Amino acid sequence: MMRTQLETNLIRLVAKHRELVVQFIRKELVTKYKGSFLGRFWSIITPLMMLIIYTYVFSVIFKAKWDFAATGSKQEFAITLFCGMLIFSVFSECVTKAPTLITSNPNYVKKVVFPLEILPVSLLGSALINYLIGMAILLIGQLVFLQNVTWTLLYLPLMLMPLLLLSLGLSFLLSSLGVFLRDLEHSISIIVQALYLLTPIFYPVTAIPEEIRGFLYINPLTGIVDNVRKVVVWGIQPDWMNWSVEIIVSGIVLWLGYWWFLKTRKGFADVL
């Protein structure tokens, strides 16, 4: 009951301050590339450059292959790889920025009427917009090189739900902890880099020895990446059992993160 009430209150708060949320999302997007000559084009250039590098390294040098690949071409390898990179980019952007989210906005903390809860929501909104830009590029590439976009793409919003809940929950938790633990920013960066390699973005799950493959699924991003690839690239049904577990776990993370944020927010002003 308490969990449902907290989530309902969060939804009502976001709906009430939706215009403010949009303003902060716009601010986040503008600030990220402010002063650069190419501006928003970096959100396209950066992932494409990384995609070219990773595709060469893993498909040419390491000869990696995807389990459900239809053609085995480098173009298909790149699209499959890019799909995983996009998922991780949402998680990474939220988690790495969250520890400094409150400390970088001290003026809002001191305003009693300001809803601090919208800051993590706006951060997630900004990451989601960048994801949608990347997804548009991916679908164009899929049409050009593979000549198809599967009907299972309709499942994508459902497959993204665990990612959004998980990222938002961790953003609430880490933004609060970052106020009291200033070293958290650096330790989180190391953890995110480790997760980047421990998530099957550059290799299929079956590339991991079977006796330790189960440990890979302790990482919640493993199932999310796998299911999104299934519905976007390979055109097959997602693993609904894994999805159900991910929804439950991510929902618990969101509840705990939001509950902790509300519990500790009264102490933000004292520390800052």
Q: What is the pLDDT of residue 176?
A: 95
Q: What does each of the 272 residues of the chain score in pLDDT, given as a tens digit?
A: 556 677 788 888 888 888 999 998 888 877 766 655 555 666 667 777 776 777 676 666 656 677 776 666 777 888 888 899 999 999 999 999 999 999 988 888 876 678 899 999 999 999 999 899 889 888 888 888 888 888 999 999 999 999 999 999 999 999 999 999 988 988 999 999 999 989 998 888 888 888 888 888 889 999 999 999 999 999 999 999 999 999 999 999 999 999 999 999 988 888 87
Q: Under a CB-based contact definition with an 8 Å cutoff, are residues 75 and 68 in contact?
A: no
| 110-125 tens-digit pLDDT | 766 788 999 999 999 9
C-alpha 268/C-alpha 264 separation (Å) is 7
Question: What are the Cα distances from residue 131, in Å, to 52, 154, 186, 217?
Answer: 18, 16, 24, 23
Closest to 173 measured CA to CA, from 255, 270, 87: 255
Q: Confirm if 243 and 158 have CB atoms less than 8 A apart.
A: yes
The encoded tokens of residue 186 equal 């650096």
| CA–CA separation, 153 and 112 (whole Å) | 44
Give me 128's structure tokens: 């989601």
pLDDT at residue 192, rounded to an integer = 94
Q: Is 85:137 a contact under the CB 8 Å cutoff?
A: no
| Residue among 168, 181, 190, 189 at smallest CA distance from 257 | 168
Report whether 80 contacts 51 (CB < 8 A). no
pLDDT of 3? 61
CB-based contacts of 144, cutoff 8 Å, min separation 6:
none
pLDDT the model gives residue 10 = 86
SS3 263: helix
